[in-house]
Amino acid sequence: MPTEPLVRAGARPVDPDFLALPLRAIADAALQVARDGGAEHADVRVHRLRSRAVELRDARVVSSSDSDRVGLAVRVLRRGVWGFAAHVDVTASTAAATARRALEVATTLATVARESVELAPEPVYPDVTWVSEYELDPFDVPEGDRIGLLAQRSGTLLAAPGVDHVEASCLEVKEQTFYADLAGTVTTQQRVRIDPGVSVTAVDRDAGAFESLRTVAPPVGRGWEYLTGTGWDWDAELAELPGLLAEKLRAPSVQAGATDLVIDPTNLWLVVHESIGHATEYDRAIGYEANYAGTSFATPDLLGTLRYGSEVLQVTGDRTVPHGLASVGWDDDGVATGEFDLVRDGVLVGYQVDRSFAPRLGLDRSNGCAYADSAEHVPLQRMANVSIAPAASDVTTADLIAGVDDGIYVVGDRSWSIDMQRYNFQFTGQRFYRIRDGALAGQVRDVAYQATTTDFWGALEAVGGPSTWRLGGAFTCGKAQPGQVAPVSHGCPSALFRGVNVLNTSSEGAR
């Protein structure tokens, strides 16, 4: 964890229209009210979230939206009890009134509070700025150009033999946050993220069957340049889709049973998210949080002893990885972000925490995992970019496949299911290839793999090297009530697992 503010040389400036808001006046007004009201901690956030989405079906626009939400939030800690209030009017007078309401909430809740909140200490960062790494702001791209690119790619795919339908979409988000607290920390941040995707469908009318494939390009913390080739070779992937789809449509059904798997990072990231990312959220592990994703089997009494997986498994949380969806300079507790261990040599060694949960775990400092998705919501402990480390040597995916006599290579994420303890699960994928004698031998279909979390990661025999490591991720990971969403990335290499239970998902295979 860094003890000094994270500085990124050459960062783009924060948009002038956000900086033109009376940010300092809002902070001064709210914090003065909180100070006068006896708060031992108070923070003010001005949060702006702009999002645009467009969806095309068969090269025609079916939906297009553009939203811009801004507001302010005041959180106070008075006599160990939180109070929170928010408003859409971003003025100093409203900020002062909102702070008074937050104090009233804390006073009211003090009569029923069952615990006293303690915040882990954090250095003061008096005036710092962080902007994510991107080249072209997607909100500077005219709507006609955005739609035109998706329509052109859709038209090319529709003209390919065997493609009956094409869906294309793109969601773009710009998030800006100003934070100030009583200790003197003042942060201003701006990050951009983008989530494009294209899917193709083939219909076999004679057989009464259909099949589809989606691009495996992940959502990332980049700008519009991502759509034109920076960070992903779209031309190559789109050119392959029709042929891959045709092969999938005529592929044989898989034979169920214990099977060696080589899993591509485009699929494995989702298993990391569900079985490690959620399971190592400390609030879930102690039963404090259960909405959306349940609690966790990885309880604190097992910290330092739970064999999460084989010794090959090394997992970190990181809120600074370039282009990560959860990457920021400071979290919504004013904590400077960094990297921390969750699983080391296959053993559970850490959790994701915010400033209020760190002392419960006996930590001197938070690891920077507080986030609120809007001004109207209170910050929660949210997921960092949870990732698996690659091998030290550059083992390739082909090397891993070469070590399998009879198995399956899994590419791309699709449907999944996991229990409320993050323990029993089942995952499918976009494409599956039979491995015979260390080489790929064509696609198979109707594949799902099933395991418990510890059995699955215990079956991990080897991981690929740095050249196989990729960031996957989700734009809208859900949590809490009222519900909030958060973007998060997961990096992982290709990986080899031995003897995983494979299911046949077809109606015939299920009999």
Q: What's the mean pLDDT when you consider all of the chain?
A: 95
Give the whole-angstrom CA distance, residue 56 versus residue 19: 35
- Asked if residues 279 and 297 have their Cβ atoms less than 8 Å apart, the reply is yes
Same domain, yes or no: 294 and 245 = no
| CA 193 vs CA 146, 485, 489: distances in Å | 15, 14, 11
pLDDT tens-digit readout, 424-435: 999 999 999 999
Mean pLDDT of 339-368: 97
Confidence class of residue 6 from pLDDT cuts 50, 70 and 90?
very low
Weakest-pLDDT range from 208-217, 265-274, 334-343, 370-379? 208-217
**Is residue 368 in some structural domain?**
yes
Q: Which of 224, 249, 274 is the last residue of a domain?
A: 249
Same domain, yes or no: 350 and 399 = yes
The DSSP secondary structure of 312-343, one letter per residue, reads T--EEEES-STT-TT--SB-TTSPBP-EEEEE
**Model pLDDT, residue 11:** 65
> Domains in the chain: how many in total?
2
Rounded to 5 degrees, what are φ and ψ at 461?
Answer: -100, -35
pLDDT at 407 > cutoff 90 = yes
Q: Please, what is the Cα angle at 389 between 336 and 292, to 5 degrees? A: 65
**Model pLDDT, residue 507:** 64
**Is residue 9 in some structural domain?**
no
Mean pLDDT of 237-257: 96
pLDDT tens-digit readout, 294-325: 999 999 999 999 999 999 999 999 999 999 99
Residue identified by tokens 């064509």 is 442
Residue identified by tokens 């921390």 is 340
**Is residue 8 in some structural domain?**
no
Same domain, yes or no: 214 and 350 = no
Mean pLDDT of 209-218: 94
State whether residue 44 is helix, strand or coil: strand
**Model pLDDT, residue 491:** 98
**Is residue 415 in some structural domain?**
yes
Same domain, yes or no: 161 and 144 = yes
**Model pLDDT, residue 12:** 82
H-assigned helices in 183-291: 234-249, 265-272, 282-285
Q: Which of 227, 249, 271 is the last residue of a domain?
A: 249
| CATH code for the domain of 156 | 3.30.2290.10
**Is residue 215 in some structural domain?**
yes
Same domain, yes or no: 114 and 153 = yes
Confidence class of residue 509 from pLDDT cuts 50, 70 and 90?
low
Weakest-pLDDT range from 5-9, 104-108, 388-392, 482-486? 5-9
**Model pLDDT, residue 293:** 81
**Model pLDDT, residue 3:** 40
| CB-count exposure of residue 209 (10 Å: 0-12, 13-18, 19+) | exposed
User: How is residue 173 written in tokens?
Assistant: 């988000």
Same domain, yes or no: 409 and 478 = yes
**Model pLDDT, residue 511:** 44
Which residues constitute the domain of residue 60? 16-249
Confidence class of residue 292 from pLDDT cuts 50, 70 and 90?
confident
Q: Which of 249, 278, 295 is the last residue of a domain?
A: 249
pLDDT tens-digit readout, 24-58: 999 999 999 999 999 999 999 999 999 999 999 99
Give the percent of the chain with pLDDT over 70: 97
Same domain, yes or no: 155 and 91 = yes
Give the whole-angstrom CA distance, residue 203 versus residue 207: 9
Same domain, yes or no: 45 and 179 = yes
User: 0.75 exceeded by the pTM?
Assistant: yes
pLDDT tens-digit readout, 463-506: 999 999 999 999 999 999 899 999 999 999 999 999 999 999 98
Q: Which residue has the higher pLDDT, 507 or 224?
A: 224
**Is residue 7 in some structural domain?**
no
Same domain, yes or no: 346 and 368 = yes
Same domain, yes or no: 126 and 146 = yes
Same domain, yes or no: 47 and 163 = yes
pLDDT at 164 > cutoff 80 = yes
- Asked if residues 280 and 386 have their Cβ atoms less than 8 Å apart, the reply is yes
**Is residue 5 in some structural domain?**
no
Same domain, yes or no: 241 and 261 = no
Residue identified by tokens 């198979």 is 444
Weakest-pLDDT range from 205-214, 226-235, 473-482? 205-214
**Is residue 463 in some structural domain?**
yes
Mean pLDDT of 358-384: 97
Q: Residue 254 carries which DSSP code?
A: P
